Amino acid sequence: MIEVKNITKSFDGRAVLKDISATFEDGKTNLIIGRSGSGKTVMIKNIIGLMKPDIGQILYDGRDLITMNKHELNMLRREMGMLFQGSALFDSMTVMENVMFPLDMFSKDSTKERRKRAEFCLERVNLSEAGHLYPSEISGGMMKRAAIARAISLNPKYLFCDEPNSGLDPKTSLLIDDLIHDITVEYNMTTVINTHDMNSVMNIGDNIIFIKEGVKEWQGTKEQVITSNNRALNDFIFASDLFRKVKEVEMQEEEG
Ligand SMILES: Nc1ncnc2c1ncn2[C@@H]1O[C@H](COP(=O)(O)OP(=O)(O)OP(=O)(O)O)[C@@H](O)[C@H]1O
Ligand SMILES: [Mg+2]
């Protein structure tokens, strides 16, 4: 579990995150949603310690990241897997070498064991056949899956994904969402995902934190999204045509 307590972050006197508190639970896909520029990436960067909030606490199963020294932070980082906008694979390495990379860097296991682990991760994302290929030789969806395999190679407790579906078609996006959700449940990870994709919200929104202009406006589940009366949330989701229709039907059923 990750607990964010009252974090505020400003740039040049302009507050981008305003007194945000939120809880991210184990074995769940925790989504941070909001318009472009609302502060999602800044939020995730603060959570993983790439940026330091001006005020607030960030607790990883009770351990406060803010007060950690460099060594403690490095140790905590090994419990994190990350998947950032774009897949950020190393172009000069094969898929297999990409997945091996964190293992070679941080694992004390033998070469044989590291290779076995990498093969296991590739198999988990259905890429066993593509290990010898270079990123330029595979599709965008495959790159995402390779990046997921790399992110889980060290068996992380916490997984962070910033817009994992950017650049993918809707069907491939669903597959990636499902994969992230499945491994989250399977390994009981605390997964935090930034998205503004309503399909993802309704597909894997176990726990949703909605941010508007740096303020946490609402928190709930995908089921609660449908019946929420929060105006800002409704404005955000009504921007999605398909979703407006779903919600209208739901409301009619409630009234009728
Ligand atoms: N390093 C920085 N220095 C100054 N301002 C920044 C910095 N990083 C982010 N910001 C500002 O913080 C605000 C929130 O940005 P952020 O990247 O978190 O938005 P976002 O919700 O992730 O948007 P998107 O959906 O487009 O990725 C923006 O106004 C941005 O310009
Ligand atoms: Mg962003």
CB of residue 9 inside a 6 A radius of ligand 1: no
Q: How confident is the model at residue 210, as a pLDDT?
A: 97
Q: How confident is the model at residue 244, as a pLDDT?
A: 63
Cβ neighbours, 10 Å, residue 51: 16
Residue 189 CA to ligand 1 centre (angstroms): 26
| pLDDT exceeds cutoff 70 at 243 | no
Q: How confident is the model at residue 87, as a pLDDT?
A: 63
CB of residue 40 inside a 6 A radius of ligand 1: yes
Q: Please compute the mean of the pLDDT values over residues 62-70 and round it to a whole number.
A: 95
The per-residue pLDDT for range 183-193, each reduced to its tens digit, is: 999 999 999 99
Question: Whole-angstrom Cα distance, residue 24 to residue 192?
Answer: 7
| pLDDT exceeds cutoff 80 at 235 | yes
Residue 36 CA to ligand 2 centre (angstroms): 7
Q: Among the atoms of ligand 1, which is closest to the Cα of residue 211? A: 21
CB 43 within 8 A of CB 16: no
Q: How confident is the model at residue 254, as a pLDDT?
A: 72
pLDDT-derived band at 255, boundaries 50, 70, 90: confident
> For 33, how many CA atoms within 13 A lie in the half-sphere containing its CB?
30
Fold of 2-79+158-255: Rossmann fold (3.40.50)
Element (H, E) at 4: strand 2-11
Task: Kindly report the backbone phi and psi dihedral angles of residue 207, in degrees, each rounded to the nearest multiple of 5, phi listed first.
Answer: -145, 120
Q: How confident is the model at residue 128, as a pLDDT?
A: 94
> Between residues 221 and 236, which one has the greater pLDDT?
221
| pLDDT exceeds cutoff 80 at 75 | yes
CB of residue 39 inside a 6 A radius of ligand 1: yes
Q: How confident is the model at residue 185, as a pLDDT?
A: 96
Question: Whole-angstrom Cα distance, residue 183 to residue 205?
Answer: 15
- Contact residues for 91 (Cβ-Cβ < 8 A; gap 6+): 134, 135, 136
- Contact residues for 51 (Cβ-Cβ < 8 A; gap 6+): 9, 42, 45
β-strand partners of 208? 31, 220
Task: Pick the residue whose CA is nearest to atom 19 on ligand 1.
Answer: 37
Residue 84 CA to ligand 1 centre (angstroms): 15
- Contact residues for 42 (Cβ-Cβ < 8 A; gap 6+): 9, 16, 17, 51
pLDDT-derived band at 253, boundaries 50, 70, 90: confident
Q: Which ligand is nearest to the CA of 10?
A: 1
Question: Whole-angstrom Cα distance, residue 77 to residue 146?
Answer: 20
CB of residue 41 inside a 6 A radius of ligand 1: yes
pLDDT-derived band at 239, boundaries 50, 70, 90: confident
Domain-wise residue ranges, the chain: 2-79+158-255, 88-155
Q: Which ligand is nearest to the CA of 162?
A: 2
Q: How confident is the model at residue 237, as a pLDDT?
A: 85
Query: CA angle at residue 210 from 206 to 214, to 5 degrees?
Result: 145
Q: How confident is the model at residue 86, as a pLDDT?
A: 67
Q: Comparing 83-92, 100-109, 168-177, 197-206, which segment has the lowest mean pLDDT?
A: 83-92
Q: Among the atoms of ligand 1, which is closest to the Cα of residue 44? A: 18
Q: Which ligand is nearest to the CA of 38?
A: 1
Q: Among the atoms of ligand 1, which is closest to the Cα of residue 39? A: 18
Rg (CA), the chain: 19
Q: Among the atoms of ligand 1, which is closest to the Cα of residue 214? A: 14
- The fraction of the chain above a pLDDT of 70, given in percent, is 95
Q: How confident is the model at residue 136, as a pLDDT?
A: 94
> For 80, how many CA atoms within 13 A lie in the half-sphere containing its CB?
22
